[in-house]
A and B are shown apart, each in its own frame.
Chain A
Amino acid sequence: MSAPVVIVGGSLAGLRSAEGLRKTGYSGPIKVIGNEPYLPYNRPPLSKDLLSGTGEIDEIYFPIKESVADIEWVLGQAATSLDTKEQKVADLSGTSHSYSAIVIATGLRPKPLPVDANGITGVHVLRTFDDAMALRKELLPGVKVLILGAGFIGCEVAATAIKAGCQVRVVSRTHEPMQEALGKTLGKEVKRRHELKGVEFVKGASVFGLIGDGHVERVILDSGVIYDADLVVVAIGSLPNTEWLEGSGVDISNGVLVDGGLRALSSDGAVFENIFAVGDVARYVNPLFDQIPRRVEHWNLPTETGKRAGLILGKHLIGESVAEVLAEPFAPLPTFWSDQYEMNILAFGMTYLADRSELVAGELSGECVFEYFRDDKLVGVCGIGMRPTIQSYRTKFLLA
């Protein structure tokens, strides 16, 4: 029997890759190695409903389709190395897994606290179900929460913590919350709404050190200011999980560099026919915008990249030509959303490439829609509420 396709990463992108493989008619073995002990689950609720409610993991599992019911799951095992000559992946337990092809879907991990915590506890991150459970039991009324970072995760955790009755302070380097994605005007408005709910923002600072007897009690900022805090949430971005690929020859300069077929490239630009990368860890060109390869961390892209990688790999494995599929440009439209209080933010495109934004519908203080331009070309749309209007933009992002 031929060696299985090994998918490294047991989350959404890995699952969609497996489904895509099966759609082509590939019926050989598929093995998924995942470092979390869970089957694939949906992460967005981790900072919202699941963080405030009483929900458990079974509420967020993705359905396992019949076509992939025969997958072998190796869970709770991180991959530790890739040998492309012997075609083997090793995992933390020391087991070596032979493969016919490999799909890299190892995703990201949160950046840690930028300073040494000196063993002081009460510092959290939020990426996994276990992270959410650990944080949830601490979000009690009156608890002083200091959130480091004002991106999507930081703002969503702030909203959830307020709802739980916590006192919330958000410390960030950037000027306005989610400014990179929303631009300054909309970012400022989001801040205003958070402030109305009681969140305090501290700009232009980071953490210098923690004070506490075992558990955190106070946080010293690099500005010299000291705040009381019972809990610190670090939400300052993510790092790609690619250390296990060191020495494999795959280009891991920032995530895994892939071609338009999601096939990994070597450091000298050669294509690996049987190594793919999908989801948050993949770095690729999106011709809707330009020719610069990027990692894009939005929810619809694990599905878009996984489906395409599965299709191309499946065809390759059953001996069909992949030339036709490869000739179609890979140009997925990034989608993101964020729910904070009664505020529903929805966006399409790559708003953070923009050099200016313009209010085109509604009112800033209520529901509104912004267009985002780079060199006068529309690169994104984002708004609060007004979803039908925002939806109508989906067809406006066209290949040049």
Chain B
Amino acid sequence: YGQCVFEAPTVFKLNAEDKLEYVAEVNDSERDNVEAAVDICPMQAIRIAQ
């Protein structure tokens, strides 16, 4: 649904085929944004490893 794209635009993006792309390794400075993206994912499809 791409909700995550809005919360953490430097980490998630929808490509031209409407598929989600993401950066697997993120800086700690992005952590709050990524957590917000996890929280707002309608499919609850995002997990943060460690």
Contact = CB atoms under 8 A, between A and B. Distances in A.
Interface in B16-35: 16, 18
Contact of B1 (A63, A303, A307, A337): A337
Interface centre among A62, A63, A300, A391 (most CB of B within 10 A): A391
Contacts of B47: 63
Contacts of A62: 44
A387 B18 contact: yes
A113 B31 CA distance: 46
Contacts of A44: 42
Contacts of B14: 387-388, 391
| Of A16, A19, A388, most B-chain CB atoms within 10 Å | A388
B6 A388 contact: no
Nearest to B38: A63
Q: How large is the interface on B (under 10, 10 to 19, 20 to 34, 35 or more residues)?
A: 10 to 19
B44 A387 contact: no
A346 interface: yes
A335 B16 contact: no
A303 B40 contact: yes
Contacts of B42: 44, 299, 337
Contact of A335 (B3, B18, B44): B3
A394 B47 CA distance: 24
A295 B37 CA distance: 24
Nearest to A346: B1
Nearest to A333: B6
A42 interface: yes
B1 A388 contact: no
B41 to A, nearest CB: 10
Interface in A289-303: 299-300, 303
Contact of A387 (B1, B39, B40): B1
B39 A16 contact: yes
A328 to B, nearest CB: 16
A61 B6 CA distance: 24
Nearest to A42: B44
B10 to A, nearest CB: 16
A280 to B, nearest CB: 16
A371 B16 CA distance: 21
Contacts of A16: 39
Interface string A358-394: 0000000000000000000000000001011001001
B11 interface: no
B5 interface: yes
A394 B1 contact: no
Contacts of B39: 16, 19, 303, 307
A182 B42 CA distance: 20
B16 to A, nearest CB: 7
A75 B42 CA distance: 24
Contacts of B1: 337, 346, 387
Contact of B3 (A300, A307, A385): A300
Contact of B18 (A299, A337, A388): A388
Nearest to B32: A23
B45 to A, nearest CB: 11
Nearest to A59: B44
Contacts of B3: 300, 335
A337 B14 CA distance: 17
B30 to A, nearest CB: 16
Interface of A: 16, 19, 42, 44, 60, 62-63, 299-300, 303, 307, 335, 337, 346, 385, 387-388, 391, 394
Given A337-B42, A385-B18, 5 more contacts: A300-B40, A303-B40, A387-B2, A387-B18, A394-B6
28 contacts: A16-B39, A19-B39, A42-B44, A44-B42, A60-B44, A62-B44, A63-B44, A63-B47, A299-B42, A300-B3, A300-B40, A303-B39, A303-B40, A335-B3, A337-B1, A385-B18, A387-B1, A387-B2, A387-B14, A387-B18, A388-B2, A388-B16, A388-B18, A391-B2, A391-B5, A391-B6, A391-B14, A394-B6
